[in-house]
C-alpha cells in the first residue's frame, strides 16, 4: 500500500468527477450569447455554495453589454501595461534600477499579486496578444463582502467553482479571470466602482467568463502529484 498511486478510472466516474477532471479553461469563444436562463441556473448553484457560518459573503454582477466588456478589456490592458513596466525591470541588456526597486517593494507588499506565474500573461495582455475576457459574451463578476466570517476569499472561490462546474454540466465553457481585480486598484477603482455600482462592503475579486467554445479543449491536463499522508489506526502511509 505504501507509495501507491491513487486510481483514476474514467469508467467509474460520477458526473461530478467527470466535470472535475474534464473541465478546462477556455480562452476563445463564439459570439453567440448564452441564454439568460442558463446563466440564472449557474448563479443559483453559486448561491447554494457552502461558506463559513453560512454568511454567503458574495454578490454577482452579470456583464453582457459589449460596450462594458470592451471597456474592461481596455482598462485592464492599460493596467497591465503599467504593471509590465515594473515586472519586466530587465529589458534585454538594460537594467532599469527604478523599476527594479519598485518591483522589490511591490513583491513584499503584494506577494500574491506579484507572483511570477501570472506575469507572462501581464506581458501578453499588455501587448494585446491575450484578451482579458477571451471574447466571451458573458462575464460573471464575483464581488466579495469584506465583512464575511473567517476567509471570504475562500468562500468566493468555492462559490465560483460551483458555477464553473455547473456551466460545464450545461455544455458551456468558462475561464476564471483574476486580472479583472486590477479594476479595483486606483486610479481605475474610482471609475469602475461607480460604473458597476460597487461600494463598501463589496469589492471585485474574480470574474468567470462564460460562453460556447470555438473548439473543444484538447483533453485533460495532468496535475502535479503531491504526496498524501494517511493516518489509519496503527499505521501511516503515503499515496500519490
Ligand X SMILES: Cc1cc2nc3c(=O)[nH]c(=O)nc-3n(C[C@H](O)[C@H](O)[C@H](O)COP(=O)(O)O)c2cc1C
Query: Site residues (CB under 6 A) for ligand X?
Result: 24-25, 27, 175-179, 206, 221
Residue 96 or 113: the one with the smaller Cβ distance to ligand X is: 113
Report how far residue 195's alpha carbon sits from residue 141's, in angstroms, rounded to the nearest whole number.
13
Report how far residue 149's alpha carbon sits from residue 50's, in angstroms, rounded to the nearest whole number.
12
User: Is cis: bond before 193, omega within 30 of 0?
Assistant: no
The set of cell numbers assigned to 230 is 494517511
Residue 28 or 96: the one with the smaller Cβ distance to ligand X is: 28
Residue 89 or 119: the one with the smaller Cβ distance to ligand X is: 119
> Minimal distance in Å, beta carbon 63 to ligand X?
15
Query: Of 209, 142, 206, whose CA–CA distance to 178 is shortest?
Result: 206
> Minimal distance in Å, beta carbon 14 to ligand X?
19
Residue 1 or 221: the one with the smaller Cβ distance to ligand X is: 221
Residue 167 or 177: the one with the smaller Cβ distance to ligand X is: 177
> Minimal distance in Å, beta carbon 218 to ligand X?
10
Report how far residue 152's alpha carbon sits from residue 158's, in angstroms, rounded to the nearest whole number.
10
> Minimal distance in Å, beta carbon 17 to ligand X?
15
Query: Of 60, 170, 179, whose CA–CA distance to 123 is shortest?
Result: 179
> Minimal distance in Å, beta carbon 80 to ligand X?
10
Alpha helices in 48-129 (DSSP H): 66-87, 97-109, 119-126
Amino acid at each position: 500500500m505504501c507509495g501507491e498511486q491513487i486510481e483514476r478510472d474514467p469508467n467509474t466516474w460520477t458526473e461530478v468527477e467527470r466535470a472535475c477532471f474534464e473541465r478546462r479553461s477556455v480562452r476563445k469563444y463564439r459570439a453567440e450569447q448564452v441564454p439568460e436562463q442558463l446563466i440564472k441556473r449557474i448563479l443559483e448553484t453559486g448561491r447554494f455554495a457552502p461558506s463559513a457560518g453560512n454568511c454567503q459573503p458574495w454578490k454577482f454582477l452579470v456583464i453582457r453589454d459589449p460596450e462594458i466588456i470592451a471597456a474592461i478589456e481596455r482598462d485592464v490592458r492599460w493596467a497591465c501595461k503599467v504593471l509590465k513596466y515594473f515586472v519586466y525591470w530587465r529589458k534585454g541588456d538594460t537594467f532599469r534600477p527604478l523599476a527594479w526597486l519598485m518591483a522589490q517593494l511591490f513583491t513584499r507588499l503584494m506577494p500574491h499579486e506579484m507572483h511570477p506565474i501570472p506575469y507572462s500573461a501581464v506581458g501578453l495582455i499588455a501587448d494585446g496578444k491575450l484578451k482579458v475576457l477571451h471574447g466571451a459574451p458573458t462575464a460573471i463578476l464575483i464581488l466579495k463582502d469584506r465583512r464575511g466570517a473567517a476567509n471570504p476569499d475562500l468562500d468566493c472561490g468555492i462559490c465560483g467553482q460551483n458555477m464553473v462546474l455547473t456551466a460545464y454540466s450545461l455544455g458551456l465553457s468558462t475561464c476564471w479571470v483574476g486580472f479583472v481585480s486590477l479594476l479595483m486598484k486606483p486610479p481605475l477603482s474610482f471609475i469602475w466602482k461607480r460604473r458597476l455600482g460597487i461600494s463598501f462592503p463589496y469589492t471585485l475579486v474574480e470574474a468567470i467568463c462564460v460562453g460556447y467554445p470555438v473548439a473543444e479543449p484538447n483533453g485533460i491536463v495532468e496535475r502535479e502529484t503531491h504526496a498524501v499522508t494517511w493516518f489509519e489506526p496503527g499505521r501511516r502511509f503515503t499515496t500519490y
